Structure 1
């Protein structure tokens, strides 16, 4: 029996992919002229998905390729780059990273030979928290992270319209989901890469959230003439309904937690609040609601406490 097991293991080791580790099997989907998305799962980070829970993308311009988000690991970034090369032989011109959350930038090592651009606030956030979030990702998804280190973006961007090979990209500086949220609107195709500000059929995450600012940012995005909206988490849509869905959830969340604090509920009691049926279709809504209470409730409680001098 031991001999048979040894033979099986030796044969398995020679199979493609066994020794190399797991693979994301990234497949780009064309969503508009020259524009592609790698769609992630609507889940939390797990050992099974390797942290692949966001929608990264790229635009093939006449001059070269613009990459938007680099994924949760070095392995993801390498597979992303290989998948892009199957679509086009054009060089990669630039990478944009929309915020400081790990699945947006931890694949950046695979793009170290090109400019990696982000808002100044995102650069600061990655510089301060990059190592800690990388270590946390190792704990969450294990071997998928092998060889991954945090790379701080090399180029600070400000609000502007930049032209790359016939595509006019409007860089929009916003905040609320994190202290600095970059949205990218392609005026040529009317495709909006909304970053982490818009969630589609998935409950929003709030570890760095400032919800009043987030709602203001949604107003800015809602005013755009959008043909295709790419949320960084959830379903790609051909209208702005994901913006209103995100707004509806954030409005309810804020109101529900404010009422709970005014009613004297402690954090555990607030976590037990019922979620309205209209949000039952959102992926991971119960888990994200509990996390949001932990993130947001202490500050909301402080805002309603009676101050005694």
Structure 2
């Protein structure tokens, strides 16, 4: 119980710090990872004032027929600075903006691309419209002035999965699910890169507010096959070290299987939520980004369904 209280106090302190946070410079530094492809890497952490809620890896591709942007970050300010970062690399206009899922750091920078309008899968658009105001309340509370003038700007254009060629680059737009109801994975076949979105995390506790663990595990198998069959040389997740050597697919699969087994066993033993939260985490995950806050959220919203199943409800 002391451990649970400590976690809750830590979360309260983070929220309090946010109230004093000042909007500032995200210091976005484009890193070229392949011909025509640049990465903007976020913190491997939880949302916090000291990172401006920037915990996402975004990217852009100068195709030769306009720029393709992948994710627009957690705030209007991020989107505006992202667009300036793009302009520091290429004079080409932004042609397409992709939001890979409905979580706020994937689309809250869309205000900076109002002239283009973002594209996403239908379920992502519906979810962003439905949950955008609640996301905004939460991020303003967590990160204060970094969110100044930010309003939810859901993607406008419904995306159809399939192959698409833009300039020098051929993309496969692949629908998966399990992390959310609609997860977009983008394969840049020309650059040999898979942008895995939230389907795979690297050295970072996966987020689960919209998760279906069984479907997510099936999508990880699909992602593994996609990586193999495409011959891609890099898999870039939206969270965690973008270019780390660790196998993001294997890490995510292992964590989800462990989480499922822990909650199944705990429910069968009649353990309550507080007991599960207080259980020690294996060393393999103890030092991942966003631990323990994300683990606390995983268990808090997923465990009641395991209790219901154990009780036959």
TM-score by length of 2: 0.89
Paired residue for 2:89, among 87, 96, 111? 87
Change beyond 3 A, Cα 1:288–1:165: same
Matches of 1:238 and 1:131, distance apart in 2: 34
SS at match of 1:137: helix
Q: Partner of 1:49 in structure 2?
A: 51
| TM-align CA RMSD | 1.4
Measure the CA separation in 2 of the matches of 1:259 and 1:24.
43
2:257 maps to which residue? 251
**Contact 1:46 1:140 (C-alpha < 8 Å) held by counterparts:** yes
What's the counterpart of residue 262 of structure 1? 268
Give the stretch that moved more between structures: 198-207 or 239-248: 239-248
Which structure: larger Rg?
A: 1
Once residues 159 and 216 of structure 1 are traced to their aligned partners in structure 2, the CA distance between those partners, rounded to angstroms, is 18
Is residue 240 of structure 2 the alignment partner of residue 234 of structure 1? yes
Unaligned runs of 5+ in 1: 1-19
Task: Give the drift of 1:281.
Answer: 3.4
Q: What residue number does 2:78 align with?
A: 76
Aligned length: 288
Q: Which ranges of structure 2 fall in alignment gaps of 5 or more residues?
A: 1-21
Whether the 8 Å contact between 1:93 and 1:115 is mirrored in structure 2 is no
**Helix, strand or coil at the partner of 2:220:** helix
Give 1:288's match in structure 2, choosing from 288, 294, 313.
Answer: 294
Deviation track 1:195-230 (CA, whole Å, cap 9, x = no partner) reads 011111111111111111111111111112321111
Instruction: Go from structure 1 to structure 2 and tell me whether the alpha carbon gap of 1:23 and 1:185 turns closer, same or farther (over 3 Å shift).
Output: same
Write out the 4+ residue segments of structure 1 that deviate beyond 4 Å after TM superposition. Answer: none
**Helix, strand or coil for the counterpart of 2:179?**
coil
**1:21 Cα deviation from its structure 2 partner:** 4.3
Equivalent position SS for 1:87: coil
Task: Pick one of 156, 159, 168 that aligns with 1:157.
Answer: 159
**2:199 equivalent in structure 1:** 197
Cα distance, 1:239 vs structure 2: 6.5
Cα shift at 1:145: 0.8
Scaled by the length of structure 1, the TM-score of the pair is: 0.90
Q: Which residue of the partner structure matches residue 15 of structure 2?
A: none
Q: Which moved more, 1:297-306 or 1:85-94?
A: 297-306
SS of the residue aligned with 1:31?
Answer: strand
- Given that 1:170 and 1:185 are in contact with CA atoms closer than 8 Å, whether structure 2 keeps it comes out as yes
Aligned counterparts of 2:181 and 2:198: Cα–Cα separation in 1: 11
Matches within 5 A, 1:1-309: 21-223=23-225, 224=227, 225-237=231-243, 241-306=247-312
